[in-house]
Amino acid sequence: MSYNSFTEYIKTVEPSKREKAYAWRTAIGLQAVDGLEPSEYLIELAVQNIEGKISIHDTNDLLHSYYEEKQPTENLQRIEEADKVSARITQLLSDNGFSFTPNEYMSIHKKLFEGIYSHAGKIRDYNITKKEWVLDGATVIYGSASELRATLAYDFEQEKSFSYKNLTMDDIIHHLAKFVSQLWQIHVFGEGNTRTTAVFFIKYLRTLGFTVENDMFAEHSWYFRNALVRANYNDLKNGIYETTEFLELFLRNLLLGENHELKNRDLHISVIS
C-alpha cells in the first residue's frame, strides 16, 4: 500500500474525502524533502481517516501509542518523524484558521515537530551550511543567526504591504516565487524549514484565493526544494546566478494547472573549483 491508495478518493464526488486525500498526499509527499518515507501503518490510518472511520485527532493518538511501544532505533525514529509530521501537516491543511504573521510561521514549526525536535518552534542560535546535490555540494548562504528575528519580521512586513492589484498573473507568480524563496532562505529553524515553509505557503495562497489541490507537492516536493535552492545561490565567477525560473514553473503548475515538465536534473549545476 502507498499513497497512490488515495487516488480513488481524489476522483470521488464527495468533497470531504477528496480534500482529505489531497491533504494526505501533500503531507506524505513533503517528507521526501528530508529523505523520509512513512510507514504502511500510517497509510492505513490515513485511509481510515479519509473514510471517516477515525478523526485526525484519533490518528495522532494512535501514532503516539504505536511508537511508544516500539524500541527506538535511528531508522525507526526517521519513520516515526515521517508518520507523525505527515499527520500533523494533514491536520494543519484541514484547518482553515490562518494569520499572516511571523508568530503563525513559528507556531506551524512547533505544531509539526513538537516531541520530535528539541528546538520545535524556536529560532536557531547558530549559523548553518548544507551541502546541496543540486549545487554539486556547495551551500546556500542562509540567514545569520544574530539577525533571524529581524529578517523574518522584515520579510513579513514587505509582503504585507505589497499590493497585487492590477498585476498580470505572470507578475503575481514571479512575486510569489520571490517571497517564498526569501522566506525559506532565512532558514529560521535548525531543521524542518522546507516543510514548515510549504505548509505556511499553502495556507497563505488560500487566503489569496488560490485553490491548492493537486499533486504538485505530493509528487514534486524535492523539485520544490531544489528550486528554492537555485533561487538563492550565486557563483558569479562561474556565471551562475540566482533564479526563480524553476520555482515559477512549479507555481504555474500548482496554481494555474499548467503542465510544465519538472525534472531535478534540469536544476543541477556543476561548480568549478
DSSP assignment of 145-208: GGGHHHHHHHHHHHHHT---TT--HHHHHHHHHHHHHHHHHH--SSS-HHHHHHHHHHHHHHHT
Domains identified in the chain and CATH numbers: 1-95 (no CATH), 98-273 (1.10.3290.10)
Q: Average pLDDT in the 36-52 region? A: 95
Q: Is the pLDDT of residue 150 over 90?
A: yes
Q: How confident is the model at residue 271 (pLDDT cuts 50, 70, 90)?
A: low
Q: Average pLDDT in the 78-99 region? A: 96
Q: How confident is the model at residue 220 (pLDDT cuts 50, 70, 90)?
A: very high
Q: Is the pLDDT of residue 256 over 50?
A: yes
State the residue for C-alpha cell 519538472: 262
Q: Average pLDDT in the 173-180 region? A: 98
Question: 258: exposed, middle or buried (C-beta count within 10 Å: 0-12, 13-18, 19+)?
Answer: exposed
How far apart are alpha carbons 250 and 221 in whole angstroms?
10
For residue 74, what pLDDT is reported?
86
Q: How confident is the model at residue 212 (pLDDT cuts 50, 70, 90)?
A: confident
Q: How confident is the model at residue 1 (pLDDT cuts 50, 70, 90)?
A: very low
Q: How confident is the model at residue 13 (pLDDT cuts 50, 70, 90)?
A: low
Q: Is the pLDDT of residue 246 over 80?
A: yes
Query: What is the DSSP-derived secondary structure letter of residue 117?
Result: B
For residue 213, what pLDDT is reported?
77
Q: What percent of the chain has pLDDT over 90?
A: 86
Average pLDDT across the chain, whole number: 93
How far apart are alpha carbons 92 and 94 in whole angstroms?
5
Q: Would you state the torsion angle of the CA atoms of residues 96, 94, 224, 177, taken in this order, to the nearest 10 degrees?
A: -10
Q: Average pLDDT in the 193-212 region? A: 96
Question: 53: exposed, middle or buried (C-beta count within 10 Å: 0-12, 13-18, 19+)?
Answer: exposed
Q: Where are the alpha helices (DSSP H) in 30-168?
A: 40-51, 56-68, 74-93, 102-113, 148-160
Q: Average pLDDT in the 225-229 region? A: 98
Q: Average pLDDT in the 55-81 region? A: 94
Q: Average pLDDT in the 157-167 region? A: 97
Q: How confident is the model at residue 9 (pLDDT cuts 50, 70, 90)?
A: confident
Q: How confident is the model at residue 15 (pLDDT cuts 50, 70, 90)?
A: confident
For residue 247, what pLDDT is reported?
98
Report CA-CA distances (Å) from 229 to 83, 118, 204, 221, 247.
Answer: 26, 26, 21, 13, 10
Query: What is the DSSP-derived secondary structure letter of residue 61?
Result: H
Backbone dihedral region for residue 134 (phi beyond 0: left; psi -120 to 50: alpha; all else: beta): alpha
List phi, psi (to 5°) of 189: -105, 160
